[in-house]
Structure 1
Amino acid sequence: MDFSKLKKLYPEATLSKHPFMEEDTLRIPYKNQWIHIPKQRLDDKEISVLTLLKEEIQPDMFPSSQSKWLNFLEGNREYPPQTTQPVRLIQLVLEKMDDQFDYTIWIDSITHLFEPVLDVFFVTRETCYIIQDNTSQSHTQEEIYGMLKTLEDDFSIRTNAYIGQFWQPDYSLKAIFKEEQRIFQEEVSHLHDRICSLSDVALRYFTKEALSQSTVMLELKNQLEKQTDWKELILALWNSQGNISVAAKTLFIHRNTLQYRMDRFYETTGLSLKNMNDLLLCYLLVL
């Protein structure tokens, strides 16, 4: 299939590296990217034909799902399935999968691991969703990481996860879930611990556009990037909440050595890493 020819038939079609968009689209895999066509521009017959084309290009290699939650997320259902409890979306992106990966066993394992769940299903070959309500057992991110690590060892894969907030199942839920999809797909490549929640990525996600449009911030960013060890210094201090002793241990250097580097940093940039406002600014620049 040639995207340029499809584009002539559907001028609204776009090509993206991300599988999910803000609006409801029919997505078709294309050369390690995704073609998106707004569903509102298609009639039922066109959707059926394009779906057949999609299956010809890349037959689904994961179990098809008749999930009501999947239909809701795909825009084929106006309201979420009936539930009175707040719900959350846990997104998993799997890496290093081979042809022997068993989707059915994975779904069964995830279901038991996170029990109780409302649903578990795949939306792309590598992307698995878990829908939970707030009657489920509350696990910390560290505990969830441990749970997923067990499965990684069993399946010989690598997992990245976004733990969503609990939200009321009302008219705004679809828009909220779609934004969580976008947040994760844009931030997954920047994860350090491979598991995150909104608070872990909010600073970068909600400030990156403003930062990219600021001449002042871009100039500061260029200054920081000239010294290869400054990013490591800033991250160590930020992660230790400005505690010099803890940061020094993280960097495997003496406290006095760290203090000397901070002084040199101030002399060069005019920003003091002892000041939390300056440290926050520098952190945003190196994210």
Structure 2
Amino acid sequence: MSLERLFPEAVEAGKIEHAEDWVAIEENGQTYYLPLANLSEREKALLALQNDGILEDKVTENPWYRYLIQDDLSVAKDYKALQIIYIDHKEALPEELCDFFVTLLPNLLATVVISKTRTLLILDQEEMIEAEDLIDDVLPTLESDFGIKLTIFFGNVWCKFQADDLPAFYREESRLFANMRHFRGNERTVSFSQMLLLAYAHQLDLPAIKHKMLQAIDDSKDIRPIIMTMWQEQGNLAKTAQNLYIHRNSLHYKIEKFRLLSGLNLKNLNDLAFSYLLIMEN
């Protein structure tokens, strides 16, 4: 039975004004809030047990938790590029593992506990670090050393966004992760571009993400014909440059400039496919 049927008064994160009057609960990777006034003491105790301390002040007072989950823009700071890494786990992450992520990822801004089964890593990606490659390389060793199984989703690198954009991106990336877990639950690490293509296949609604990507396309000179031609040439850069009558170095420059705006690398066929589908849809 779904949460919506059990608690029809539940609302999504970002739609509440006074978080202290609500209790957070997670379903399929999405955080919802239930009004405390409508819950019995027994229901409150059961929810607190399920969330394993999600009501504790040390969690809900985390500024990143308040920013992403509760839409508290007063704690938002100005960053040029941010990435969220989503980690699912069956038990609380050992403190030593969290310390290891600090060592592995020098651009790690914060570790945010969302629930007993999900933790976020917030990265400052102004100076890009390929976090996916780093974590992929050490994941088997980490799981063996700590005796824990992890499923990791690498969110997009978001650039030039407004303060109120990131909570919306977080909610839609969480839906992407839940969608992936539902249809391809055996994946251990999942990239943003893999998620996007699966979302298209299942017609998942992603208005904030699509708006941001279309804005990046519109703001990037000549990127539409580049995307269309690269798709027709199956990603072949030499043929794309030849067909567009531009130097190959100019093509590389335009692709890199688009990556800095959107987070999408057109040299990656998944990113190219999503960009092509987005243009065809609009």
Q: TM-score range by the shorter chain?
A: 0.5 to 0.7
For the residue of structure 2 that corresponds to 1:161, the secondary structure is strand
CA distance in 2, matches of 1:94, 1:105: 15
Corresponding residue pairs, total: 194
Describe the shift of the 1:183–1:79 C-alpha distance in structure 2 as closer, same or farther (beyond 3 A).
Answer: farther
Looking at structure 1, the residues matched to 151 and 30 of structure 2 have their Cα atoms a distance apart, in angstroms, of 24
Larger Rg: 1 or 2? 1
Q: How does 1:206-221 map to 2 (within 5 A)?
A: 206-209=200-203
Q: Which residue of 2 aligns with 1:285?
A: none
Query: In 1, distance between residues paired with 2:141 and 2:88?
Result: 16
Q: What is the correspondence of 1:71-150 to structure 2 with a 5 Å cutoff?
A: 71-75=66-70, 77-79=72-74, 81-95=76-90, 97=91, 103-135=94-126, 137-139=128-130, 141-150=132-141
Contact 2:48 2:55 in 1 (8 A): no
Aligned amino acid, residue 48 of structure 2: E
- Secondary structure of the 2:73 match is coil
Q: What is the letter of the counterpart of residue 175 of structure 2?
A: R
How well do the aligned residues superpose, as a CA RMSD in angstroms? 4.2
SS of equivalent to 2:150: strand
User: Helix, strand or coil for the counterpart of 1:166?
Assistant: strand
Who is 1:176 aligned against?
A: 169
1:172 counterpart letter in structure 2: D
1:12 aligns with 2:9: yes
Is the contact between residue 164 and residue 197 of structure 1 (CA under 8 Å) also seen in structure 2? Answer: yes
Tell me the amino acid that sits aligned with residue 162 of structure 1.
F
Asked whether the 8 Å contact 1:90–1:131 carries over to 2, the reply is yes
Letter in structure 2 aligned against 1:130 = L
Letter in 2 for 1:157: I
Tell me the distance in 1 between the aligned counterparts of 2:8 and 2:131.
Answer: 46
Distance change >3 Å, CA 46–CA 91, structure 1 → 2: same
Residue in 1 that maps onto 2:24? 27
Matched, 1:205 2:194: no
Contact 1:119 1:130 (C-alpha < 8 Å) held by counterparts? yes
User: Percentage identity across aligned positions?
Assistant: 18
Q: Give the match's secondary structure for 2:108.
A: coil
**SS of the residue aligned with 2:78?**
coil
* Unpaired runs of at least 5, structure 2: 17-21, 205-233, 235-272, 274-282
Residue 149 and residue 181 in structure 1: after superposition, are their counterparts in 2 closer, same or farther (change >3 A)?
A: same
Does the residue aligned with 2:157 lie in a helix, a strand or coil?
coil
TM-score (norm 1): 0.53
Instruction: Name 2:150's counterpart in structure 1.
Output: 159
Which residue type is aligned with residue 24 of structure 2? R
